Amino acid sequence: AESVDAILQGMTWLGLEYDEGPFFQTQRFPRYKEVIQQMLKEGQAYHCYCSKERLEQLRAEQMAHKEKPRYDGKCRNGVSSPPAGVSPVVRFKNPLDGAVVVEDLVRGRVIFQNSELDDLIIARGDGSPTYNFTVVVDDMDMKISHVIRGDDHLNNTPRQMNMLKALNVTPPIYAHVPMILGPDGARLSKRHGAVSVMQYRDDGYMPEALLNYLARLGWSHGDQEVFSIDEMIKLFDVTNVHSSAAAFNPEKLLWLNQRYIKSSDPRHVAHHLSHHLGKLGVDPATGPDLVEVVKAQRERAKTLAEMAVNSAFFYQDIGEYDIKDAATHLKPEAQKPLTELRARLAALPAWDAPSIHNAVTGVAEAEGLKLGKIAQPVRVAVAGRAVSPPIDVTLTLLGRDKTLERLDAALEHIRKQAVTA
């Protein structure tokens, strides 16, 4: 159930709608058994009684002679006296001669000689069907037109095509896309980082950025890097996917994600940002409009997780100041300009960015300070560290009451530091 949920959650997050299903193969076992019985009756499949020990010995002998390991067809033409107490497997009677031609949309024409393909097992001794058989029945019953999958399945294709032809069904069109490699050139795996779609959501990626990156991985349209969903639908064609494997580049994905954070509708970004704030225990309803926070923060965040951490101070009290930033900016010489600024801010008739900007610059001019000498202590006072959006935007979003409250706390911090120094 967890695996199914992971697939459905990933599709929902990515905005990928589906028309039917999901279908569960475990619920289709009666249908698979029905087709197996049909194939046995028509001589397209047979029972095989060979023991595991015999098959292992056969494999060892073939490998010793540098032959390709394959079933030798011992039970293909029937067994005169089936051994008692043995539950046979069912094998497909693969053609002995000729070739299977796969007109692959990505790899082009691929030819397999039937003499290289053995009689694969389509039902185990307990009657349960095997993967290569169940997908054939599914493709047949569901009238699948195209099968697009990883090229690690290419060797299964001629077997599946032969079974479909035995069932008098025209095989679908196949496209085998190359596997994705990690930055080190090895096949992408857990050690390269995120292993599920939802992990990318939790790491702070926009769904459109991930879709764009995956579509662009092994496919191109001129030199264009950024595609809207509509553009991807219009321009993407599987026949233009490169046949060589593409390497996953985390830095490229991060760059693309930042582009989407900057350029997407702030309301859309805010919708996804709320998830990350929730993970930090932040309720966006307790502070400024989240859309306005996105507008203020989107130029300086590569991921939504980073933006959430940087924005939490708008909604939560500051637990502690950044030690280094407080030591640098909340010093005794900051006490006078911060006190003056607090008074000017408290007296403002309107709490808006222009009024706040004038108050800050007014104090800087009166004290003979560069703007940064007052803006940075204010940032540490209200945000807990020396990084925030422009100070007038930050204070506007934070609100008058919280701003004055945090300036008071910073002034008290400076006084305490002076006493203990």
Over the chain, what is the mean pLDDT?
Answer: 93
pLDDT, residue 420, reads 75
Asked whether residue 15 carries a pLDDT value surpassing 70, the answer given is yes
Per-residue pLDDT tens over the stretch 328-379: 999 999 999 999 999 999 999 999 999 999 999 999 999 999 998 999 999 9
pLDDT, residue 193, reads 66
Range from 76-85, 116-125, 319-328, 379-388 carrying the lowest mean pLDDT? 76-85
Per-residue pLDDT tens over the stretch 89-116: 999 999 999 999 999 999 999 999 999 9
Per-residue pLDDT tens over the stretch 32-64: 999 999 999 999 999 999 999 999 999 999 999
The model's confidence at residue 421, banded by pLDDT at 50, 70 and 90, is: low
**% the chain with pLDDT above 90:** 82
Structure token pair of residue 260: 């989407």
Per-residue pLDDT tens over the stretch 287-338: 999 999 999 999 999 999 999 999 999 999 998 999 999 999 999 999 999 9
Per-residue pLDDT tens over the stretch 224-256: 999 999 999 999 999 999 999 888 889 999 999
Asked whether residue 192 carries a pLDDT value surpassing 90, the answer given is no
pLDDT, residue 347, reads 96
